[in-house]
Structure 1
């Protein structure tokens, strides 16, 4: 297998989307696409599998709800019960209406923060990590598609130029 990769640069998201569909119709594997903004439907056109991030968010929210419930049950009922505003403090269920806002907030807090941590770990975005962007223009107004070369460099170059690529570059894989 060759160590080369072809980078096709597009200047319009609609042209990129049509190119992705044409390349996937030829059963070629697209390594990566770099875009300056999210392109609706690109993941489906590339054939990427569905993400399980919603399941993770639900689990993280449940963890937050459990932590909030146990924390309030321990602090307000078992450890230091106080009579605040005439409300009795001998039962968790009796005080549940007062605990609902705190439970909601900690559910959202845990869900949001753990999702960010999960995203960074899953994307391998560590502190001080060097950027992997192959072309600076993809952060402004261009789109870049990378396809691995497998002894078909000339055919791939011709296909990418035919799909509307502004620039086609053959480079070594990092």
Structure 2
């Protein structure tokens, strides 16, 4: 089985967007698109599913709120209750209004830090990872669309040249 892909290189983001739409309409599978900057609407044009990071952020915030509640209850009520400003230390509920800033801060802390860790793990961005960019021009001013070759290779090359690509290459991937 062949692992060939086509690298269609574009020099304009509007031309790239039109090419992505034409490629999807022609039922070719787009493996990846490399761009030097974020292109608005590219994810929808490629047909990518919406991200679920907001759900993770909410769950991580709940973890932070739970840790804050458990920590304050243990430290300020159970372990070493103190009379600070005449406030009763008999129950957590009586002191909860004083604990709201700490609950907020730990909610934000856990959500932010765990979201960053989740993002790096999900996108497989490890420390000291080598770049997977197939063409160095995509970090400057060009856009590259990687499409799997299924069927007639010459016909696909002609198709991508007609979409406005400035360069079309067929590459054997390992």
What is the alpha-carbon distance in structure 2 between the residues aligned to residue 70 and residue 120 of structure 1? 29
1:48 matched residue in structure 2: 48
2:32 matched residue in structure 1: 32
Please report how far the alpha carbon of residue 18 of structure 1 lies from its aligned counterpart in structure 2 after TM superposition: 0.5
What is the alpha-carbon distance in structure 1 between the residues aligned to residue 137 and residue 97 of structure 2? 53
What is the alpha-carbon distance in structure 1 between the residues aligned to residue 151 and residue 25 of structure 2? 19
2:129 matched residue in structure 1: 129
Which ranges of structure 1 fall in alignment gaps of 5 or more residues?
none
Q: What's the CA shift string for 1:134-168, capped at 9, x where partnerless?
A: 11121222111001112322111111111111111
- Check whether the contact 2:28–2:148 (CA below 8 A) recurs between aligned residues: no
- Check whether the contact 1:2–1:151 (CA below 8 A) recurs between aligned residues: no
Question: Normalized against structure 2, the TM-score is what?
Answer: 0.94
Superposition RMSD in Å: 1.2
2:164 matched residue in structure 1: 164
2:150 matched residue in structure 1: 150
**Structure 2 counterparts to residues 1-174 of structure 1, below 5 A:** 1-174=1-174
What is the alpha-carbon distance in structure 1 between the residues aligned to residue 81 and residue 12 of structure 2? 63
Question: Normalized against structure 1, the TM-score is what?
Answer: 0.94
**Matched pairs, number:** 174
Bigger shift: residues 25-34 or 115-124: 115-124
Q: What's the CA shift string for 1:29-84, capped at 9, x where partnerless?
A: 10100111221111111111222221111111110100011001110111111222
- Check whether the contact 2:17–2:42 (CA below 8 A) recurs between aligned residues: yes
Partner SS for 1:137: helix
Please report how far the alpha carbon of residue 99 of structure 1 lies from its aligned counterpart in structure 2 after TM superposition: 0.8
